Structure 1
């Protein structure tokens, strides 16, 4: 009788672990697909943006070369410095506000731990 109960407990534990691993796998796959999509768009935006930026700088420098060349170079430098500062601030804010890794899996594991401890949970 104890052997059967232990066997059932072991089977339930393995089944619980299997479902949690499956959930983690699905979340990792979704995160990976999302990440590669973001990286592809980021690479395209970076390449196109750099070409546009280089042409804009060239246009400004050629336009003001004879009259205000130092002001044009200084203005472009200030513009890039401010843009870089803005990008760093946005990056820091985005990293601070990101969601935790595998949130659904962690939530289910918390519920499982609470259930094993005998605590009341929303799911029961």
Structure 2
């Protein structure tokens, strides 16, 4: 009966570990979705406001220099907005490539569990060898 009790306890421990890790995964996914939704919403609001402001600024500048420097103003604005778009695209690419992996904390905990179980198994083998001698 001792072996069946050991197997039952081991099964219960494994199921408990899996349950805890699945809970951790679900919490991380929920947090990531909430964060992403918030980023998306505020990004869209900021883009809308910035777009309206930029259009009004362009209209103001063109109207102000219509008679004298309209081509210079238009070319300057084109250069400024093109440079900004390129700079922001580079920044976004860098930021996205350096972001942390999804479920990084969960994977780290699973690695700890595996190494702890492997260490526990090695300890049991050492104890069995010592007991046999």
Same fold (TM > 0.5): yes
Distance 2:90 2:105 in 1: 29
Cα RMSD (Å): 1.3
CA distance in 1, matches of 2:105, 2:94: 23
Gaps of 5+ in 1: 120-124
Query: Structure 2-normalised TM-score?
Result: 0.84
Alignment pair present for 1:110 and 2:96:
no
SS of the residue corresponding to residue 67 of structure 2 reads coil
Task: Name the larger-Rg structure.
Answer: 2
The residue that corresponds to 2:27 in the other structure is 26
Higher helix share: 2
Offset of 1:8 from its aligned partner? 1.3
How far is 1:26 from its partner?
0.8
Question: What number of residue pairs does the alignment pair up?
Answer: 119
Q: Which runs of 4+ in 1 moved over 3 A?
A: none
5+ residue gaps, structure 2, are 121-133
Q: Does 1:13 align with 2:9?
A: no
CA distance in 1, matches of 2:63, 2:79: 18
Rounded to whole Å, the distance in 2 between the matches of 1:46 and 1:15 is: 46
Query: In the TM superposition, what is the alpha-carbon distance from 1:97 to its structure 2 partner?
Result: 2.1
